[in-house]
Chains A and B, each alone.
Chain A
Amino acid sequence: KAGVTQTPRYLIKTRGQQVTLSCSPISGHRSVSWYQQTPGQGLQFLFEYFSETQRNKGNFPGRFSGRQFSNSRSEMNVSTLELGDSALYLCASSLADREYNEQFFGPGTRLTVL
């Protein structure tokens, strides 16, 4: 089975721009979660999508948004980029048809905001 894929792997943007990141989950996985990883704040939950619906949301401003398509692929968007948005953005997929299940992380998208 192919793993979780994320594109692009690296991205450089300037303040004020917007960015869209893509995540393709493992085949059969219906849940996709997004996390932001920074040296200062660690791994922080952004949101989770399940069957095209946002099921849960972390404490991030409205500039961060996402969506999920019928094939479970997910995108996240960050508008009006700030320097502090520089981070590794990880997506994780899971089966989510049981209460407990592991999450499989993709390699991440490294976003640098200049």
Chain B
Amino acid sequence: GQQVMQIPQYQHVQEGEDFTTYCNSSTTLSNIQWYKQRPGGHPVFLIQLVKSGEVKKQKRLTFQFGEAKKNSSLHITATQTTDVGTYFCAGQRNGVEYGNKLVFGAGTILRVKS
């Protein structure tokens, strides 16, 4: 079945350092979505990437979707303590049979030392 691998599992950075998490899907995706989950919270949608090679920015966050629509990355510039949480990528496939199903990566836990 479809799998989405995400690395690293953990990242502990000093405040002000950059952070990157990577996702790789075993199948071509129709789109990839990114979610953030704070400790004790629930996943909150960050962004959706649809087009091959797409790059989107949200303030200090940069999201990329690979040319083959199988991999993606999230880069945070100059991390802040408010960035703490687990970042998940989640892939969707084309086709009515897949509906709205999201296949999640295992997530990257980000800790920021101030």
Contacts and interface: CB of A to CB of B under 8 A. Distances in A.
Interface of A: 31, 33, 35, 42-45, 48, 50, 55-56, 58-59, 90, 92, 94, 96, 99-108
Contact of B100 (A31, A90, A108): A31
B107 interface: yes
Contact of A56 (B41, B90, B101): B101
Nearest to A53: B99
Given A43-B88, A50-B100, A92-B43, 17 more contacts: A33-B100, A35-B102, A35-B104, A43-B43, A43-B90, A44-B104, A45-B102, A50-B99, A55-B99, A55-B100, A56-B97, A99-B94, A102-B33, A103-B45, A105-B35, A105-B42, A107-B41
Contacts of B41: 107
Interface residues of B, number: 27
Contacts of A58: 101
Contacts of A45: 101-104
Nearest to A33: B100
Contacts of B102: 33, 35, 45, 92, 103
